[in-house]
Structure 1
Amino acid sequence: MGRYWKTSMQYSQISVGELQRKAQQSVNDAKSKGKEMHPIVIEGRQIAKSWWGIAWCQNIEQYADYSSRLARGKRYVKTGAVIDLQIVKGKVKARVQGTRRTPYKVEINISPLKEDVCEEIIDQCSSQIQNLQQLLNGEFPEDLKDLFLSKHGLFPSQREISFNCSCPDWAIMCKHVAAVLYGIGAKLDENPFLFFELRGIDVNKLVDVTIKDHVDSLLKHADMPVTDRVMDDSCIETLFGLK
């Protein structure tokens, strides 16, 4: 604790330059040992740029009693202190550079959604995604905002998320955890499917259901009567000089 607090009980912050130097050294050390790192790199002033990444950041800022820690975490993630962040089913594992040489280990656990809620979300999502290519490109229309932000949506409530950090800070959410939470928002910019991974939803099933819905829609239209806008075979032959 002495490394975090002066005798006057004023918080002592590491400078941006020193934090970045330590972070780069930790990344270099990991690479020299053959460890693959997944750092969070923030370009510009915004942590997240997509509507879903921004919405994630806004959602965590609604968590009560964490405002001061979130501000420090935002500073850390913007300076490149989150040197590794990986998302797996219901869990986020990360390493965050702090004042000491060795980065701190952060783990965030998110409760999985109940199976019936998962099924409902898959159905809602597939029915609202009109552009199949948009889904396959990892983009989501703003029509899905309610799906993410609703009471039983994809975003976890404060009761559905727990944190753990190896630092000696006494707070439930230290600045290292806060940095990782913001880092998730930036990570989701790159791959929004990670939203579903976090909540235990099968992404492959989501894509399969969406494709099936689009195929079914195409088959329905295939049975529609021919209109004046559709050329018959003889017109096509004439057009291409086949007669």
Structure 2
Amino acid sequence: MNRYDEDTERTFAALPPAHGRGFAHTWWGQAWLRALEDTALDSQQLKTGRRLARAGAVGAVSVRPGRITAVVQDRDRTAHRADVLLEELDREQWDRLLDMAIERAGHVAALLDREMPPHLVEDAAAAGVELLPGMGDLEPECDCGAWDHCGHTAALCYQVARLLDQDPFVLLLIRGRGERALLDELQARSATPAPTEEPTEPEGVDAAEAYATGGILPPPPTPPELPAEPGVPPSLDTETPPGPGVDPVALHCLAARTAAEAHRLLAEALRPGTEQQSPEEELTFGQDAVRLAAGAHEPAVANRLADGSGRDREGLARATRAWRLGGVAALSVLEEEWTVPADVLARARAALESAWDEDERPSLRASGNRWTVVGAPAQLRLGRDGRWWPYRREGGCWLPAGAACQDPATALASVEPALGEEPA
């Protein structure tokens, strides 16, 4: 047994029933549930899975690389073995992930505090490693014979979301590394300096030879490596006074945001499969002002962006809060109230009907694409892409309370403290 096999299986005792509460409160737990809910073809099976998980019908959960397993009992006490598979990272992907973690000590510290920092997932993705599952990544297997996600595999996924809330190392174990082996590997890499290569003479072709060979050219160079961090703008702190109309603070902020955006675009371009992706739509003036404000820390810059985008400071703060949760889509949901077409409205109402058991369903009052919980400062907003966004009323204004979800009950769980319940 090598050091990667020492803690490659963990078993978690059955969790108590979770009546009237959501299954994921962390952003990474909600991302896990989105991978399930975006994939399942039968919303009724998701509802059954939520009901079984809330009732405590999921037994002890076994977690090991590539697979989670539990026995789930139906209402008639019939037991079924449910498995959900998630592809392990290969050796090369783990090497890239560990090298990246060594360069960012804060990532390791956050994991030890049982937190999954967003920058860890973003940096891993930039290195070509997808930590969180995406649509279609959670593959179900159940002895009930279902070929897609059934109530038993859905219940298992909902229960694992609660485990992920408590310990993100559960996700890393499913991806192939136990906590002890992972920390040992990080320690070993930290103690061993990377070998330095002797400089070599640059290879090239004599210009006269290249010209003589006509159309025969050497192959293009390999793509560049993605820099670990965006570039740092040059310092503008000089003894020379700025020219008329030049604001050094605003100029420095614009340069820093441009460097960050260039780094993000390069990461997207270097990611495998980019050639099949559709180009992003160009931002409007108002959207771009919010994007810049999301990275601005100087009050004077925020004031200029608020004035230039036609918002006051409070309005810009609400807009940047939405932007950080979901970019253009979240900003649109914040600022637009629209009439839902009849066919979309029918699907929305069906989703609301199936999201809760009848005795747990909150009373909702509809207005356009917004459903407000009667008697509570909580609201659901339907995006044009069919996802539900949670909102909470604070200080007389509706504010985004979390990321979007396919399931309205999961979205509304983000606003649970506003509904008078104790957070888990």
Report the TM range for the smaller structure's normalisation.
0.5 to 0.7
Q: 1:191 aligns with which of 152, 159, 167?
A: 167
Work out the percentage of aligned pairs sharing the same amino acid: 26
The DSSP-based 3-state class of the residue aligned with 1:68 is helix
**1:126/1:209 contact within 8 Å kept:** no
**2:82/2:143 contact within 8 Å kept:** yes
Q: 1:110 aligns with which of 86, 103, 106?
A: 86
Alignment partners' CA distance in 1, 2:120 and 2:107: 13
Quick check: 1:76 aligned with 2:52?
yes
The DSSP-based 3-state class of the residue aligned with 2:59 is strand
Which letter does structure 2 place at the counterpart of 1:79?
A
Q: What is the RMSD of the two structures over their aligned residues, measured on CA atoms?
A: 3.2
Quick check: 1:172 aligned with 2:148?
yes
Alignment partners' CA distance in 2, 1:114 and 1:45: 36
The DSSP-based 3-state class of the residue aligned with 1:156 is coil
Equivalent residue, structure 1, for 2:133 = 156
- Per-residue deviation, residues 59-87 of structure 1 (Å, max 9, x unmatched): 22221524332232122212212122121
CA distance change for structure 1 residues 107 and 68 in 2, over 3 Å: closer, same or farther? same
The DSSP-based 3-state class of the residue aligned with 1:182 is helix
Equivalent residue, structure 2, for 1:240 = none
**1:128/1:143 contact within 8 Å kept:** no
CA distance change for structure 1 residues 131 and 117 in 2, over 3 Å: closer, same or farther? closer
**2:100/2:124 contact within 8 Å kept:** no
> Which protein, 1 or 2, shows the higher relative CO under an 8 Å CA cutoff with sep ≥ 6?
1
**1:111/1:160 contact within 8 Å kept:** yes
Which letter does structure 2 place at the counterpart of 1:39?
A
The DSSP-based 3-state class of the residue aligned with 2:60 is strand
The structural deviation recorded for 1:166 is 2.3
Name the larger-Rg structure. 2
Equivalent residue, structure 2, for 1:123 = 99
The structural deviation recorded for 1:186 is 0.9
Equivalent residue, structure 2, for 1:39 = 14
- Per-residue deviation, residues 150-199 of structure 1 (Å, max 9, x unmatched): 8741223455443222225x452111111111111111122211111101
Ranges in structure 2 where 5+ consecutive residues have no aligned partner = 1-10, 193-424
How does the TM-score come out when normalised to structure 2?
0.37
The structural deviation recorded for 1:104 is 1.4
- Per-residue deviation, residues 76-115 of structure 1 (Å, max 9, x unmatched): 2122121221211211110111033342111222222222
Alignment partners' CA distance in 2, 1:118 and 1:132: 14
Alignment partners' CA distance in 2, 1:100 and 1:67: 21
CA distance change for structure 1 residues 135 and 152 in 2, over 3 Å: closer, same or farther? closer
Equivalent residue, structure 1, for 2:198 = none
Which letter does structure 2 place at the counterpart of 1:92?
I
Alignment partners' CA distance in 2, 1:126 and 1:197: 19
How does the TM-score come out when normalised to structure 1?
0.62
Aligned residues: 181
Alignment partners' CA distance in 2, 1:148 and 1:99: 41
The DSSP-based 3-state class of the residue aligned with 1:178 is helix
Alignment partners' CA distance in 1, 2:108 and 2:39: 34
Which letter does structure 2 place at the counterpart of 1:201?
R
**1:47/1:186 contact within 8 Å kept:** yes
Equivalent residue, structure 1, for 2:70 = 94
